[in-house]
Amino acid sequence: MVHYLLGRFGQALAVLALTFTAAFLLLQVLPGDAIMIKFMAPEMALTPEQIADIRAAYGADLPLWERYLSTVGQFLTGNFGYSIQAGVPVSKLLLTNLPSTLLLASLGFTAALILTILLAAASNMTGMGWLRAGLQALPSLFISVPVFWLGIMLIQIFSFQLGLVSVISPGPVEKLVLPVMTLAIPISAPLAQILMRNIDQVLTQPFVAVARAKGASRSWVLWRHVARNALLPTLTIAGVLFGELLAGAVVTEAVFGLSGLGGLTYQAVGNHDTAVLQAIVVISALAFVTINLIVDLLYPVLDPRLGSKVGATA
Amino acid sequence: MFQVQSRRFIIGAAASLATLSLAGLALGSGNAFAQAPVKGGVLIYLEQQPHDNLYPPAGGFYPNGGVLNQITDKLTYQNPKTLEIEPWIAESWTVNADATEFTFKIRPGVTFSDGTPLDANAVAKNFDTYGLGNKAQKLPISEVLTNYKGSEVVDPLTVKFFFSRPSVGFLQGTSVIGSGLVSLKTLSLPFEALGDATKIIGSGPFVVTNEVLGRELTMTARQDYAWGPKNLEHQGRAHLDGIKYVVTPEDSVRIGALLAGQAQVIRQVQAYDEKQVQSKGFIIYAPSTRGINNSIVFRPDNPLVSDVRVRRALLHATNTKEIVATLFSENYPQAKSIIASTAQGFVDNSGKLAYDPALAAKLLDEAGWTVGPRNLRQKDGKELVLTAYESLPQPQNKETLQLVAQQWAKVGVKLNVLAGDAGSRVADNLDPAKTPVAPAMVGRADPDVIRSQYYPTTRNVLLQKGGVSQKVQNFSDEKLNKLLEDIAVATDPVKRLALVGEVQAYVIDQGYAIPVFEEPQAFAASPRVKGFTFEAVGRPSFYSTWIAPK
């Protein structure tokens, strides 16, 4: 197990290093850079000599490998540099935006999970065919609803019409209610689809019939036998959905005017703010790697067969 | 028919009421309806975009100006009605005969919010930085301070500035947003640290007391503020206790929040949303930006548009009346020249700007562009296909360019409208081969704006040789540049305005620019907000603003 963990950890580090390098190279390939966008815009009205001075002051005229090495060095010492567009240190931008996105994403994800389980459970427990069909169709609806439209509708109804929550100067809890709903609905859709389909598949297995024959109730079978088996593929998708979550956060944050990584990424991409993007890519890669590591470690807990397999190869 | 008319009347009435209340506050409480201003309260202001770098010379970006205008004072005040330069931090000034030396007397007792004095030394340091830049701190030179040589502190309250060439525009240049005065501590910071609003220490009526980057700014009124522009009726501290700036990117959320009472003032109201706001009794403010009109300019270095007949043909193929009627409102007046009709030196050139597709077709025929297959004009095997990038800060610019493309298609010219990422946009906009056409607009209430817009070493919108672009082959217009230089050095105001008139006619005759409309800055406010005013080019000022009780 220790060997397995070390191996996975090494893989994770390699992924991070590769992501860092790829991001650095790709950001250099883009036409133009943040300095050009900021200082060569006509409203700055600068001369070519003045721009050359500024490029030299930022070290933008150094060869690629030199800039790469200095960026690596900076990252290793925890210095993410400055955002040329925003005019503040990248670390300050991250400090403002990362916690709120993490909170929004984790709450949104938890809400999505709860919604998924409720939907799957309700559609399987109900005896009424039409209700079951209706509930099973919901995820398709959820996935088709554009996030920005959903957010605007929720704001219009709950804030502007009913006056239940304020979106402009909300309290700390108040400000999360509508964004979490907005984020949870589209995220729950693929999860619910997969969970429902898996439950249907597992229900056709012979052991379910055996359990029922032994006198187990429908819900007993669902929770004790079916759920554990149906959860595994759902978990895999949940790990991958993190990216979706970040993308959803971009729109959600823009609609609700929340600070967060989504809006920061959007701005940084627009302005080729390399220092900010580099930090965001590394942080996102770190999050992806961590989540997938956790998911992989959870498999054997949910399915003992996978655990013994790991033991066999180790 | 009647309904349409009555609705128009109501909108007209609402607009004139808004003007009246503005005028009433500006002229004083002369009318019977005037209420005494209420002290206190925090106003919530919704901005579409977060501010970026707040180095004052980079304050032209409207979200930046909206912040800087509350926290910094300027040496002089440009009266937004008369455009005269009036005393503010400078009590008086003298200019030598050839406009190369300017002496300012500083108002005594002014302090920055960190307690340090705003004296002749501080003013000199501010302009030395803005006029000469600072390589070590990466601070660029201000657009309004060309030919700046240096300063001299004559005594603690007298400062003198020197220019290497006559610089008539400098006096007005001391009143603009880019010349906001900041403390010596702020001036010692590097460029990349100036995006933090709490670091911008000014002497203005409000102070930034808290900032959530990219999301929210809290401004608090300075209790000891006693140096507002001398000729304003309101003196002393601001009426409001504070302002909360909240960045709300989504248009419908800003408008919804205003109508629901969650905010009092919002910026950036699109023309198609104006009626919705006014029908609920809320007020649209659309102050003019008084500079270069929202226009389409050509880059004659590109052989496709190097022929004046082609450019003039496209000018006459553009139906600006249709653009304004389709996409905008009465707050966006159809352009009559390349500068706004409220700008200094404006000359009505509407006779030369008439929509005339027949003339356009004739001019294109004369230039040798004949209609080929696909209804597209061609010459020597080349098709007349032009490209422009949309400009994000301009209102509905993509829609405007697309409508222009439809109008040009009628005379056989294709215009591709690109969105593109910021990098490609900036790079391609410096390359006349890639962007023979570009949208353009500047707000500044001084004739100098026209020089800044067209002169090669400043904004250089026509992309002449000698500017920041390395891609220009050989285009240069000596006659235009001579006229522009003359504007910069003309010390006689009458002669200066005459030159501004000449440039307007010349640019239009050469078909260098197609002016479309006079661009306003559009705000909406609750009817309870009183005394909401604007500096000369439409940036909000909350100094005299107060909120009437319900």
Q: What percent of chain B has pLDDT over 90?
A: 80
Q: Does the pLDDT of residue B30 top 50, yes or no?
A: no
- The pLDDT of residue B295 is 97
Q: Do A41 and B426 touch (CB under 8 A)?
A: yes
A88–B195 C-beta distance less than 8 A: yes
For residue B6, pLDDT over 60 is answered with: no
**pLDDT tens-digit profile of B200-234?**
999 999 999 999 988 899 999 999 999 999 999 99
Strands B242-247 vs B265-267: parallel, antiparallel or unpaired: unpaired
Q: What's the CA gap between B439 and B298, in Å, rounded?
A: 9
Query: B446 at the A interface (CB within 8 A)?
Result: no
Alpha-carbon gap: B377 to the closest alpha carbon of chain A (Å): 32
Interface touch B422/A32, C-beta < 8 Å: yes
**Residue A270 included in any domain:** yes
Taking only the tens place, the pLDDT of each residue in A36-55 is 888 888 777 788 888 888 88
Which alpha helices (DSSP H) does B164-262 contain, by range?
Answer: 170-173, 184-187, 251-259
Residue predicted with more confidence, B231 or A85: B231
Cβ of residue A172 closer than 8 Å to a chain B Cβ = no
pLDDT for B113: 97
Q: How many residues does chain A have?
A: 314
**pLDDT above 50 for B265:** yes
User: How far lies A228's CA from each of A193, A194, A221, A241, in Å?
Assistant: 16, 14, 10, 20
- A140 within a domain of the structure (yes/no): yes
CA gap B314, B297 in Å, rounded: 11
- At B353, which amino acid appears? L
- B212 close contact with A: CB closer than 8 A: yes
Pair of tokens at residue B1:
């028919």
Whether B260 and A163 lie within 8 Å, measured CB to CB: yes
Of A90-104, A253-267, B285-299, where does the model show the most confidence?
A: B285-299
Give the distance, in angstroms, between the CA of residue B484 and the centroid of all CA atoms in the same chain.
Answer: 20
Interchain CB distance below 8 Å, A37 and B215: no
Instruction: Tell me if A265 is assigned to some domain.
Output: yes
Listed residue (B184, B247, B237, B239) closest to B211, CA to CA: B247
* Distances, alpha carbon B133 to alpha carbons B68, B126, B130, B451, B543, in Å: 19, 10, 5, 21, 30
Query: One-letter amino acid identity for A52?
Result: A
Can you tell me which residue has the tokens 């088709």? Answer: A144
> Residue A194: which of A182, A184, A206, A202 has the closest Cα?
A202
Distance from CA of A286 to the nearest CA of B (A): 24
d(CA B37, CA B39): 6
B482-502 confidence digits (pLDDT tens): 999 999 888 888 999 999 999
- Spatial separation of the C-alpha atoms in residues B66 and A26, rounded to whole Å: 36
Is the CB of B197 inside 8 Å of chain A's CB atoms? no
Q: Does residue B53 sit at the A interface (CB-CB below 8 Å)? A: yes
Amino acid symbol at B240: L
Q: Is B427 in Cβ contact with A87 (below 8 Å)?
A: no
Predicted local confidence at residue B446, as pLDDT:
87
Comparing alpha-carbon positions, the chain B residue that sits nearest to A169 is B262
Average pLDDT (B238-254) is: 94
How many C-beta neighbours within 10 Å does residue B507 have? 25
User: Whose CA is closest to A273, among A23, A26, A27, A99?
Assistant: A27
Chain B residues within 8 A of A45 when measuring between CB atoms: 143, 452, 457-459
Instruction: Inspect the interface and report whether the beta carbons of B253 and A44 lie closer than 8 Å.
Output: no
Whether residues B215 and A41 touch (CB distance < 8 A) is answered with no
- What band does B516 get if pLDDT is binned at 50, 70 and 90? very high
| CA–CA distance, A217 with B451 (Å, rounded to integer) | 85
- Mean per-residue pLDDT for B130-153? 92
Q: Coil, helix or strand for A238?
A: helix
CATH number, domain at A227?
Answer: 1.10.3720.10
Interface A–B counts its CB contacts (< 8 A) at: 167
pTM of the model: 0.86
Is the CB of A41 less than 8 angstroms away from the CB of B457? no
Say if the Cβ atoms of B140 and A33 lie within 8 Å: no
pLDDT digits (tens, 9 = 90+) for A159-174: 999 999 998 888 888 8
Q: Which residue has the higher pLDDT, A4 or B290?
A: B290
pLDDT at B17 exceeding the cut of 60: no
| Nearest CB to B260; choose among A32, A159, A257 | A159
Q: Give residue-wise pLDDT tens across range B305-329.
A: 999 999 999 999 999 999 999 999 9
If residue B441 lies in a helix (H) or strand (E), which one and from where to where?
strand B437-442
When CB atoms are compared, the residue of B192, B426, B452 closest to A87 is: B192
| pLDDT tens track for B444-485 | 888 889 998 999 988 999 999 988 888 899 999 999 999 999
Arithmetic mean of pLDDT over chain A: 84
CA B257/CA B262 separation, integer angstroms: 5
**Could you list the residue range(s) of the whole structural domain that residue A193 is in?**
94-306
Query: Is residue A118 included in any domain, yes or no?
Result: yes
Using the beta-carbon criterion (under 8 Å), do B423 and A36 form an inter-chain contact? yes
A25: nearest Cα among A271, A273, A274 = A274
Query: Could you tell me which residues come within 8 angstroms of residue B161 by beta carbon, excluding any fewer than 6 positions away?
Result: B101, B102, B103, B104, B127, B131, B148, B150, B151, B170
State the Cα angle at B59 between B57 and B62, rounded to 5°: 160
pLDDT at B34: 58
* B138: closest chain A residue by CA: A54
Length of chain B counted residue by residue: 550
Range with the poorest average pLDDT among A223-227, B60-64, B145-149, B429-433: A223-227
Banded model confidence at residue A307, pLDDT cuts 50, 70, 90: low
Query: What is the C-alpha to C-alpha distance for residues B459 and B453, in angstroms, rounded to an integer?
Result: 5
Domain membership flag for residue A40: no
State yes or no: pLDDT of B29 exceeds 50: no
Cβ–Cβ below 8 Å for A160 and B60: no
State the maximum Cα–Cα separation within chain B, in Å, rounded to a whole number.
75
> Which residues 399-418 of chain B have a CB within 8 Å of chain A?
none
Total tally of structural domains belonging to chain A: 1
| A89 within domain boundaries | no
- The ipTM (two decimal places) reads 0.80
Q: Inform me whether the C-beta atom of residue A58 falls under 8 Å from chain B C-beta atoms.
A: yes
Q: Does the residue A50 lie in any domain?
A: no
In a domain, A261, yes or no: yes
The pLDDT, as a whole number, for residue B28 is 39
Residue B190 or residue A136, greater confidence? B190
What integer is the mean pLDDT of A277-293?
A: 85
